[in-house]
Amino acid sequence: MIFLIITLAMVITLFLLRRRQPIGIAILVGGIFIWLCTDPTFKELKDAVIQMATTPRSYDLVGALYLVICLEIELRKSGCLAGMVEALSRMFSSRRFTLAVMPAFLGLLPSIGGARFSAPIVEEASKGFEAKPEDKAAINFWFRHIFEFSSPLVPGMILACGIAGVKIGDLIVHLGWLTIVAFILGWIVMVRGLKQTVATRTEVSSEEAKRHNMDFVLSLTPVIANVVLMVAFGLQASVSMIIVVVAMIPLLMFFNRHVSVKEVFIGALDYKMFANVICILLFIALLESTGVLALLVAAFESSPLPVPVIIGFLSFIIGLLTGISQGHVAIMMPIVAGISMGDLDLVGVAMVFGVAGQMVTPTHLCLTITVDYFKSDFFKTLKPVLWAQIPLAIIFIAVSYFTWGTGWF
């Protein structure tokens, strides 16, 4: 019965997403449906709200996501992002490498506009290649997401670690190697075969080149600083981010990249994003207050299939349905936490297969935006993505099998 309720709740969520409702509203409506199907009382609703409002991870999560937007505004308004792109264009002798690195680098810092922000850069970098719209669309989409497993700035990772009780630094160490594998697979499948027709390179003065190189350093500095603070010092995401965001203001001004402090902190007040996050956190609290998580855990424990297999399968399906990392994380991570709080192995399985699902679905907004920008065929764009995603999943399964030992698969 509980699986039927969950399935119907997912269908409702997917329907609302198809109707272009915000992800937070769609997930919360699914949560309300679950509450209505499990002997609803207003006490459960009250308990869920209180639990959400009194849990420290809620504030850490909202704070971290707000500060990510602050950082993006700092780099964009100061001109560092644009200068970084120019520096990368001259830095690599191989234009193929530049074509792959540009969307990947921009994917390090989730920016407002997402794939739409990197698509024009891919279009520009692809000049001189015999690249069809589907080639450019696949490159933009795939490489933008290779850091889903290793960037402390990815909202899905921040949310996953907050729910499952693991440190972001620990999860990066656990899954970071997949970013390298994803880059290699993307290179082999999407970039290596492109035929170069004309070598194009824009000449700039030595003074401009120096400025662009400094823009590159300034853009990379906050990413490295966040990784160090979270991995080496074990700081929470919000603490690390506030240190970096505040420190970047005088640093940018010192190098004559002026940015308005007011514009940074006021402009980052994305109320729609905050509303979505609060709805997701309330959905999680509802799962706990209604006892649904306990029922799911009990069902998993009685299943003949190994727990990682079940977690992986469900994560893939939910990623496929929602197409958003926060979506599959919000639904699966509470289950993972209920089974084994702080278990890096299970968190890794949920993340990898949830991302796999969102990478091959039309509900993924980045894919929709990319296909629309390049005017490419959806299925022809998806084909190379599948050819890269399938071996990535197989490699992860193989490594997991040999490192976890017996009893897992």
**Given this model, what pLDDT does residue 224 score?**
83
Distance CA 199, CA 178 (A): 32
C-beta of residue 334 within 8 angstroms of C-beta of residue 297 = no
Q: How far apart are the first and last CA of the chain?
A: 26
**Given this model, what pLDDT does residue 236 score?**
78
Distance CA 287, CA 27 (A): 11
C-beta of residue 199 within 8 angstroms of C-beta of residue 95 = yes
> Which of 248, 244, 60, 223 lies closest to 153 in space, CA to CA?
223
Instruction: Flag whether pLDDT at 114 surpasses 60.
Output: no
Query: Which residues are within 8 A (CB) of 50 and not within 5 positions of it... i.e. 6 or more apart?
Result: none
* Residues facing residue 129 across a β-bridge: 196
Percent of the chain whose pLDDT exceeds 90? 21
> pLDDT digit string (tens) for 181-204?
999 999 999 998 888 776 555 677
Query: When comparing pLDDT for 20 and 175, which is higher?
Result: 175
**Given this model, what pLDDT does residue 406 score?**
46
Single-letter residue type at 394 = I
**Given this model, what pLDDT does residue 245 score?**
93
Question: In the block, which residue shows the tokens 């203001």?
Answer: 249
Single-letter residue type at 133 = P
> Which of 186, 139, 191, 193 lies closest to 392 in space, CA to CA?
186
> Backbone phi, then psi, for 304, in 5-degree steps?
-70, -20
**Given this model, what pLDDT does residue 113 score?**
46
Burial of 174 (0-12, 13-18, 19+ CB in 10 A): middle
Instruction: Flag whether pLDDT at 141 surpasses 90.
Output: yes
Residue 24 binned pLDDT confidence (cut-offs 50, 70, 90)? confident
Coil, helix or strand for 79?
coil
> pLDDT digit string (tens) for 257-303?
988 999 999 988 877 777 877 887 788 788 778 877 677 667 766 77
C-beta of residue 343 within 8 angstroms of C-beta of residue 381 = no
Which DSSP state fits 305?
S
Single-letter residue type at 111 = S
**Given this model, what pLDDT does residue 112 score?**
43
What token pair was written down for 71? Answer: 């950082």
Query: When comparing pLDDT for 144 and 59, which is higher?
Result: 144
Q: Output the DSSP codes for 8-37.
A: HHHHHHHHHHHTT--HHHHHHHHHHHHHHT
**Given this model, what pLDDT does residue 180 score?**
95
> pLDDT digit string (tens) for 66-108?
887 788 788 888 988 778 767 877 777 667 887 888 888 777 7
* Residues facing residue 196 across a β-bridge: 129
Coil, helix or strand for 324?
coil
Coil, helix or strand for 196?
strand
Tell me the torsion sign for CA atoms 6, 349, 157, 239: positive
Which DSSP state fits 129?
B
Q: H-helix or E-strand containing 124?
A: helix 115-125
Rounded to a whole number of angstroms, the CA Rg of the chain reads 22
> Which of 75, 73, 147, 142 lies closest to 107 in space, CA to CA?
147
Instruction: Flag whether pLDDT at 351 surpasses 90.
Output: yes
What token pair was written down for 354? Answer: 């949830």
Query: Which residues are within 8 A (CB) of 213 and not within 5 positions of it... i.e. 6 or more apart?
Result: 87
